[in-house]
Chains A and B, each alone.
Chain A
Amino acid sequence: MAELVSLLQNLSNGLLIGGVYAMIGVGLTLIFGVMRTINFAHGDFVVMGMYTAFVFNMILGWDPYFSLLVALPAGFLMGVLLERVVLAPIVDKPHETSLLATLGISLIIGNALLLIFGGESKSVHVDYASMALSLGEVKISVILLIAGGVTALVIGGLYLLLHYTEFGRSIRATAENRLGAELVGINTRRIQGAVFGLGMMLAMTAGVALIPLLFATPTATGPILTLKAFVVIVLGGLGRVGAAVAGGLVLGMVEVMGAAYIASAYRDAYGLLFFLIILLFKPEGLFGRSVKRV
Chain B
Amino acid sequence: MIRHLIGLLVLLVAGLVYPWIFPSALTVGVTILLFAGWATAWDILGGWAGQVSLGHASFVGIGAYFVAIGATEYALAPWWSILMAIAVAALLSLAWGRLTFKLHGPYFTLSTIAIAEILRLIAINEDWLTGGATGVFIDWMPTPFGIDLFAREAQYYLALVFAVGVMATIIWISRSRFGYQLRAVREDENSAMAAGIDPTRTKLKAFMLSASLTAVGGGIYGMMLSFLEPHILFYLLLSVQIALTGIIGGRGTIWGPLVGAVLLVSAGEIFRTSFAEANLLIYGILILLVILFLPSGIIGEFNRRLTRRLYARRAQG
Contacts and interface: CB of A to CB of B under 8 A. Distances in A.
Determine whether A and B are in direct contact in the complex, meaning some CB atoms lie less than 8 angstroms apart.
yes
Interface of A: 38, 86, 89-90, 93-97, 99-101, 103-108, 110-112, 114-115, 119, 219, 223, 227, 230, 234, 263, 265-266, 268-269, 272-273, 275-276, 279-280, 283
B6 interface: no
Nearest to A274: B114
| Best-surrounded residue of B105, B125, B278, B283 (most CB of chain A within 10 A) | B278
Given A90-B292, A272-B114, A99 B109 contact: yes
A99 B110 CA distance: 10
Contacts, number: 112
A93 B240 contact: no
Given A272-B117, A273-B118, A111 B284 contact: yes
Contacts of B236: 223
A111 B280 contact: yes
B73 interface: no
Interface residues of B, number: 40
A172 B114 CA distance: 30
B12 interface: no
Contact of B284 (A93, A108, A119): A108
Most buried by A among B115, B117, B284, B285: B284
Interface of B: 52, 99-100, 102-103, 105-107, 109-111, 113-115, 117-118, 121-122, 124-125, 236-237, 240, 244, 247, 275-281, 283-285, 287-288, 291-292, 295
Contacts of A263: 125
Contact of B288 (A95, A104, A269): A104
A96 B291 contact: no
A99 B107 contact: no
Nearest to A112: B281
Contacts of A111: 275, 278-281, 284
B106 to A, nearest CB: 5
A51 to B, nearest CB: 15
Contact of A280 (B103, B109, B279, B291): B103
Given A99-B109, A115-B281, A269 B118 contact: yes
B219 to A, nearest CB: 26
A94 to B, nearest CB: 7
B236 to A, nearest CB: 6
A101 B291 contact: yes
B109 A96 contact: yes
A270 B247 CA distance: 31
5 contacts: A38-B110, A89-B292, A95-B105, A101-B292, A227-B114
Given A95-B106, A114-B277, 9 more contacts: A86-B288, A95-B105, A97-B291, A104-B287, A219-B237, A223-B237, A227-B114, A279-B103, A280-B100
Contacts of A268: 117, 121
Nearest to B288: A104
B283 A94 contact: no
A100 B54 CA distance: 11
Given A38-B106, A227-B117, A108 B295 contact: no
B115 A107 contact: no
